[in-house]
Amino acid sequence: MGAVVTLMGTLRISAAQKIYGESIWSPAELAIRWMQDGYKAKSRAGAFFAGLGFFISQLSINTVDNAWPGGFDLAALFPRWINIRRGAVITFVLGIAINPWQLADTANTFINVLDGYSVFLGPMTGMTVCDFWVVRARKLKLSGLYVPHKSSIYWYNHGFNWRAYVSWLIGMAPALPGFINAVNPSIKVPKGAQEIFYLAYIEGFALAFVVHYVLNWMFPVPGLGEIDDEDIFATFTVEEARKLGVLPHPRRLDGIEVA
């Protein structure tokens, strides 16, 4: 679906370039151009149905991708005071307060916003990949993931793994000057900083990966290699559990399908 949407956007911009002699990247601006060039029933109908489609799409996407996930996270962080619905409403209000429409004000602004993802997510991905695939060798104690106190091997220091934060910040730091320059060209940075920003995701991923590995080698986390003795959550089939050296869930042994 993502490839189809990207293809349609590319074809639309190419068609606008051919018809109007300029690249109109915003669908809303293109719909306005239809009516400016000929305020007729066809152009008005086209603009209306295009706008209706965008409205429904944005409403659905922001509900599913933003409001509800924000509600889940806030409910998990503050379960005593916030449930999922309240968290979704809070996320909705905050989403309006930050004026998100300004992020898509111009093509350059929108591109800079997308580039910002690589600056922050590249190091996060590199650190996560290193932690799961290398440091822990794909072994997790699943029961410990859901225990919010120091009896869990994932409690670290009051619930925070400082190694992850340090890895993320160090991986992100080299690309920040170039990102700041891209957002505000009046702030001058060296040419090398701009070049690093162009490779932000690759640089951030690699640097955070290496830093996280070194930190965990120097300061090992507790419980490395530990797994549950029993498949508590019926995560695996009987064959998978035995292959992993874990006692199968009783309902699996009885042949009961677990949803």
- For 143-197, the pLDDT digits (tens) are 998 888 888 999 999 889 999 999 999 999 999 999 988 888 889 999 999 999 9
pLDDT in tens, 38-59: 888 888 898 899 889 888 887 7
One-letter amino acid at 7 equals L
Distance between CA atoms of residues 225 and 33, nearest Å: 61
Looking up tokens 């830093």 gives: 211
pLDDT in tens, 228-257: 999 888 888 888 888 888 888 888 776 665
Quick one: tokens of 102?
Answer: 């300004």
Distance between CA atoms of residues 231 and 235, nearest Å: 7
CB atoms within 10 A of CB 215: 21
pLDDT in tens, 159-169: 899 999 999 99
Task: Give the model's pLDDT for residue 27.
Answer: 82
Looking up tokens 């290398």 gives: 134
DSSP state of 136: S
Inform me whether the pLDDT recorded for 110 exceeds 80: no
Task: Give the model's pLDDT for residue 235.
Answer: 87
One-letter amino acid at 192 equals G
